[in-house]
Every structure is written in structure tokens, then in C-alpha cells.
Chains A and B, each alone.
Chain A
Amino acid sequence: MKIKTEIINSIFIVTFEGPRLDASFAQDFLNAMKGFIQKGHLDILLDLTAVDFVDSTGLGSIVRCLKEIDSRGQLVLCGVNEMVLSLLQMTRLDKIFTRAADRDEALNSLSWQRPKRTGTTISAVSGIPKEDEDDYAILLEVEDADVKEIASDERRRHRRIGHRQILDEDLVAYCTNTATGKNSTAVILNISPGGILMISTSHHSIGDELLIRSSIGKNFKLKELTVIRSCHDGEYGLEFMNPSEKTSLFLNQLTGAVILEHNDRFRHF
């Protein structure tokens, strides 16, 4: 039994390439999934199209994945055939798992849930030269050497701006972990309407919620709740959870944001 992984629109897709998710494969599957989740892949589509048999151990491994993700993301199953569905119904897990008929429906569901959950808004408009399109960059990059990335539209939603493009001096952020109350400082490396990339000597974990306070120039005070989406060598990718209109407007103007259409394509003005 094999699984294939890919990323489409920031949704991590796990596809079974064999027909059985049973006790002989469940532990390997679970170990792999735990690794993906630890790397920050919290919105996961599980494509079961090829699967025609799941036993209780296989099912338990999916329940465990759901618990690992908890409320930090979403796990959607697609391609569940009538036989596997009967297992979900017998175990009452049909009420627990989110299901979609096919991959497209699942991707749509996950794509819409994601901005709703994080509260990210993209509203302001300013002229972006066409040639700058390639600069629309990855703000929250997940290290994942073993995963082939197929598309990255989601990651192009925000244009980031480096701190040196804003100030000559370091852009310092004061962080408060909302769960522990612990305070720490960090240096912002880049910022966008979606979040920030910062470097810190303090230890944080993926999923930690941090209240970030910083001053950008003399007039703008940033105070936003964020969640850590990635970490690598002391660099943390933080996503704004529900940025205020003031912050969104300021950062959109600062970075020169774009409006995204429903199909996630850029519209230039």
C-alpha cells in the first residue's frame, strides 16, 4: 500500500494508491500523517477513491489524525465508496468526518473554510506592475522536501514586504503566548496582509497562538492575534487570525495588495 502526497492551493492532499487501509498499513499511515501534521499541514484532503476496504484499525488511524489536527485545521475525506460509507455509518463516524463527493468538492470546501477560519481578508487595491507578479511570494512556507508541490496559488495571495524595505532598523515584535502568558521578542523578517515571518530565539510550536505587538514607523501600531503555521531554524511563519480592518488596510497599502477573484486568479488594476 502506498500513499501519494501533493499540495494544491495550500491544501495538503493524501491519496491512497492501493485498495486496503487495514491493520497491516494503519500504523505506517498514521506515522506518515503525524509527520505531515507536525510540519504544519493542517488542512488535509484524504482521497480514498482507490480504497475499497477499511478495517477498524485503519479507521482508528483516521480518527487519530482528526484528533491530532483538532480545531487547528480540517480533515476532509473524499472518494468514500458505499462500502466504506457503510463502515462509517455502523461506527457512527459518518457524523464526525467531513466528507466530499470528489476531490473538487473537497478542495472547494477546504479553500472556503480556510479563509473563514483564519479571518484573512483581502480587500485593498493598488497598482501592481505586471512584471512584479513573480514577486508575490510565499509568506508561510512549509519545509517539506518529500512533498511535491503542484500549485501554489494560495501562497500567492499576499505580497510580502521585507523589513529592510520598511525600515533601516530591525522591526521588533513583542509576542505573548495566549495559552501560557509567556512574553518574548522577535524580529520581523517580512510582513504581508496574511501574516508575518519572524525570527526568534524563544521556542514556539506550530499551532501556538501569539499576540503580536509592534510599531511600523511612527504612526502604525500593530497588535494582532496570530497562529504559528510553520517553524524552521528559529524562523516562524505566523498567520493573522482575524486582522483588524485597520491592520488589513495598512498592510494592503504597504505591500500593494491585490484582489483575488473566486477562482483565486489575480486581478490587476
Chain B
Amino acid sequence: MRLLRVPAFPLSVFLALWFGLLPMPIWAAGFKPWWLALVMIYWSLESPRYGGLGRLFLIGLLADLLFGTLLGEQALRLCILGFLILRFRARLRFFPMWQQSLAVFGLLMNDRMVVLMVRGLSGEGLPPWEFWISPWVGMALWPWLFLLLDSARLRSRGKA
């Protein structure tokens, strides 16, 4: 499996950004999870070497440039996520999967609040109710994403 020797971290970040840009039909727009956050939550949980605050900040800036959000918005959101995870890392890591999913849901909900605050302060109105769907999707996706990333990480480490 020489093809899979690509390091898992950059590949996963790249894919997360790419998935984030993929267009969805209008009615499904609210269902798109924040892929980048899910991937970064995984890395902060599993190896803080990859998911440190500095790295989160830089990746957030990159995402801001890519998505045309206010420069620093996603960086701020990722840093808040990262801080919470690093703070409770010891506990979160040993949660059973369903509890971990709930925790991810909590994190994503918290993030939505941050978004609401940032956009409210920058003068954008209240978003429609679909705005709140995305954390639920994130929660439902978390176990699968976790298993996928875990196997990818172990494989790339095992071969290295």
C-alpha cells in the first residue's frame, strides 16, 4: 500500500477543506457539517502535537482565506474548540464513543454560539433555523470519522 504513505494529517486537513467547499443543493445547505472542526477535534484529541493552538490558529486563517469569512473568524473558533479539548483531553479520550459524540455535539453547539456572536457583532442578522442543524450532523458523523481517521493514522504510523 505505497499509495497510503501520504502523512495522514495534511491529507485529512486538505480533504476537510475540500469537503467544506463542495456545493450542496440549497435545501440541504444546512446539513453540511463543519468538516474542518471535526478533523481538528480528532487531531487535538489524539495527538496534541498536531492539534496545538498555534497550528489550529494557522489552519483557521487558511480556512478564512479560502471561505472568504472575516479574517480570523475560523481561527478564533478553532482556537476555542482546541482550548476546550486540550483542557478536558484526559477525560474525553476515555469516553465511550457515544459520550464522545455528545461531547463533540456540545463543542459544535458552543461553536455555533461563537459564530452567532461574531456575525452579530459584525452586523449580520440572525441566521435562519437551519443554522442549528449542522452540529447534529457533526455528532452523527463523529464515530465514523473517528474510526476512519484512527485507521488512517495508525496505518501511516505503522508504515513509517
Q: Do A and B come from one complex?
A: no
